Structure 1
Amino acid sequence: MKRELALLGTLALLPAMIGPLEAEARSIIAPLCGGGAVTIPAGPTDAPSGPVQGPCCAKGCHTGSSRKRLDRSQ
């Protein structure tokens, strides 16, 4: 019984030992309700999209008077 369980455990771990198979996706085709389709590129592009941005701020930029307040007097 222990031999069969060891064999079953080894066979169950075989996909984890091999790893995922490499698949190269170049684009995703999404069908639309009207019968058309939209092609979305899925791979890396050569040109960067948009301007280069710096690191994100860790804290929001709020001053005390710039936020909208709820009118609770009603």
Structure 2
Amino acid sequence: MKQELALLGTLALLPAMIGPLAAEARSIVAPLCGGALVTIPVAPTNAPPGPVQGPCCAKGCQSGSSRKRLDRSQ
């Protein structure tokens, strides 16, 4: 029984040991009139528009003293 559980645990950790699979690169190859080829990379359809940013670029709002203060003198 212990050997079966050890094998099950090893098989469960196998995807974590291998890591993510490489993504397929997609591109369009267009022939030109002169005989040359132009390769145009195609972005994945589920990616958000704009440049790719990591989590280190995410910043919170800094309100500081730029917010409007209520006039409490009335």
How does the TM-score come out when normalised to structure 2?
0.42
TM-score scaled to structure 1, two decimals?
Answer: 0.42
Q: Which has the higher helix share?
A: 2
